[in-house]
Structure 1
Amino acid sequence: MRKPGSVKGLEDLGRVRLSKNFFMRDFLYSEIANFYGIPNIPENPDLAIAAGTRLCEELLEPLQATFGRISIRSAYRSPTVNQVGNDKGHNCASNEANYAKHIWDHRDADGYMGATACIVVNWYLDRYEETEDWQPLAWWIHDHLPYSAMEFFPNLCAFNLSWHEQPKKVISSYADPKGILTKPGMENHEGNHSKWYEGFPPMAS
């Protein structure tokens, strides 16, 4: 698919079904793009679709099937949108750091594809507001899904959830306790962490 150059072309891209419950249009909204009037359109739609499909099928669909509706806070960013976000201090990493992350339509420096979406698991939000503890959700995902990275934020217990061809399996947080929760080589990385998420629904088959 060519980069859309018309409203119809962008509508066609938005209608691409990435998985059972998600369409490409679900991931194109951006506050930065909206505020600054910058089109948030993939330069390489086919790569964006391929990476987004894996993100949806392998991570977002199982989450939604298990916990109910998830909300998408931020997902795909074009290189132009991401660069503006970085330049103006809107919590966007550099383009190079976001290739195969929020910038779905560019491979990373090693040639791998990936995709990131910042999401809220609505089912967990009430529990988080009572406990201010994001770790149970992180450990459930760690034990059940083939993620590459998770990065948690204080507001709404929103977190960046990444799929990647070469998953890193790293969990970090800007919410307390801040820093790295786990990564390969740490003692807590392997094994079963179910004591953290007692009372969670079983993963939907």
Structure 2
Amino acid sequence: MRSPQTVRALETLGRVRLSDSFFMRDFLYSEIAAIAGLPNVPDDPELAIAAGTALCQHLLEPLQARFGRLAIRSSYRSPAVNAFGNAHGFNCARNEANYAGHIWDRRDAAGHMGATACIVVPSFVPHYERTGDWEAIAWWVHDHLPYHDMQFFPRYAAFNLTWRESPVRSIYSYIPPRRGQLTRPGMANWSGNHAQAYADLIAGQPQR
């Protein structure tokens, strides 16, 4: 599949179904692209589709099945959009750091395919706003899903959720006062079961 150059071709790409609930179009909106007038379109649609399909099927669908509808805050960025965001201070890492992350249609330096979506779990927001506890859902994902990386942000406990081949399984938070690395390989808390950390969350969530 070639990179779309027409409205019809982009419509066709947008209609690609990545999983039961998600379509490619769900991940292509970018505020940076909209304001800067840049096309947020993959150069390699087939790689982007493959990476996005894995993200949706292995991470987003099971998370949504347990906690209800997910809200996508941002996801795919073309190299041009990401580079613009990085150059203008819009919280975008440099392109090479975002390959197999927000830039779905590039492999990382090790040759791994991957994809990132920044999401909010609306049903989790009341728990987070009441308790300030973002770690509950982080540990649930860690115990149940084959994620590569998570990064948490203060507003609504939104987080970057990344699927990648050969996952590292690392969690970082930008939420004060517990800003920093929650876990990564080599830390004492990385292995084992963390059910106690999300017991209250699960007790307050209907089984879906």
TM-score between the two structures when normalised by the length of structure 1: 0.97
Q: Are positions 1:124 and 2:121 aligned together?
A: no
Give the CA deviation at 1:163.
Answer: 0.2
Give SS of 1:62's match: helix
Q: Are positions 1:145 and 2:141 aligned together?
A: no
- Give CA-to-partner distance per residue, 1:129-165, whole Å, 9 cap, x none: 1111200110000000000000000011000000000
Superposition CA RMSD, Å: 1.1
Tell me which residue corresponds to 2:98.
98
Give the CA deviation at 1:110.
Answer: 1.0
Give the CA deviation at 1:202.
Answer: 8.5
Tell me which residue corresponds to 2:66.
66
Q: Are positions 1:50 and 2:50 aligned together?
A: yes
Supply the AA of the counterpart residue of 2:197. W
How many correspondences in the alignment?
204
TM-score between the two structures when normalised by the length of structure 2: 0.96
Tell me which residue corresponds to 1:15.
15
Unaligned runs of 5+ in 1: none
CA distance in 1, matches of 2:101, 2:21: 21
CA distance in 2, matches of 1:133, 1:88: 32
> Which stretch shifts more, 7-16 or 188-197?
188-197
Unaligned runs of 5+ in 2: none
Q: Do the aligned partners of 1:59 and 1:145 also contact (CA within 8 Å) in 2?
A: yes
Q: Are positions 1:40 and 2:33 aligned together?
A: no
Q: Are positions 1:27 and 2:27 aligned together?
A: yes
> Which stretch shifts more, 51-60 or 123-132?
123-132
Tell me which residue corresponds to 1:135.
135
Tell me which residue corresponds to 1:188.
189
Give SS of 1:72's match: strand
Supply the AA of the counterpart residue of 1:159. F
Give the CA deviation at 1:128.
Answer: 0.6
Supply the AA of the counterpart residue of 1:178. R
TM-aligned CA distance change 1:197 to 1:142, over 3 Å = same
CA distance in 1, matches of 2:49, 2:26: 12
CA distance in 2, matches of 1:149, 1:203: 26
Give SS of 1:112's match: coil
Give SS of 2:108's match: coil
- Give CA-to-partner distance per residue, 1:42-71, whole Å, 9 cap, x none: 000000000000000000000111111000
CA distance in 1, matches of 2:133, 2:159: 13
Supply the AA of the counterpart residue of 1:135. E
Give the CA deviation at 1:203.
Answer: 7.8
Tell me which residue corresponds to 2:89.
89
